[in-house]
């Protein structure tokens, strides 16, 4: 390989890598600050499942009828799974609706059990 080919090959590889990474960020407006922020993209979508789970958990705790219960919330690609126990079917459905109304939640798999 001649001396000019090595730097050209290295530059080409660097440009290919940087252009591949350039599509891996997404501008998102932070709801609290109103300022744009970058979120790193992963193959399955925006890497914010932890934020969605946290927001669902917070929304559930803000509901008076649900505050006393402990829920386990998991999110994968915006699909939220709820686990736990409540006293009534009404509370079970309220938890599902609360999760579904949370920003970033696309679907809810409600595995909450009603105590007998």
Instruction: Return per-residue pLDDT of the chain as tens, 116 residues.
Output: 556 566 656 556 555 555 444 444 455 565 656 665 544 444 454 448 899 999 999 999 999 999 999 999 999 989 999 999 999 999 999 999 999 999 889 999 999 999 98
Alpha-carbon span 108 to 90, nearest angstrom: 16
In this predicted structure, what is the pLDDT of residue 48?
85
In this predicted structure, what is the pLDDT of residue 8?
57
Cβ neighbours for 64, distance < 8 A, ≥ 6 positions apart: none
Q: Taking the complete model, does pTM exceed 0.75, yes or no?
A: no
What is the dihedral angle through the alpha carbons of 50, 95, 92, 47, rounded to the nearest 10 degrees?
A: -20
> What domains does the chain contain, in order, with CATH numbers?
5-40 (no CATH), 48-114 (3.30.1340)
In this predicted structure, what is the pLDDT of residue 43?
47
């Amino acid at each position: 390989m001649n001396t000019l080919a090595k730097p050209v090959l290295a530059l080409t590889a660097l440009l290919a890598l940087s252009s591949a990474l350039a599509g891996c960020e997404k501008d998102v407006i932070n709801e609290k600050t109103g300022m744009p922020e970058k979120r790193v993209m992963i193959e399955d979508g925006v890497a914010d499942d932890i934020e969605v789970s946290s927001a669902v958990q917070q929304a559930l705790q803000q509901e008076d009828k649900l505050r006393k219960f402990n829920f386990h919330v998991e999110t994968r690609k915006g699909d939220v799974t709820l686990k736990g126990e409540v006293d009534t079917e009404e509370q079970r459905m309220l938890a599902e609706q609360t999760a579904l109304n949370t920003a970033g939640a696309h679907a809810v798999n409600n595995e909450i059990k009603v105590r007998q």
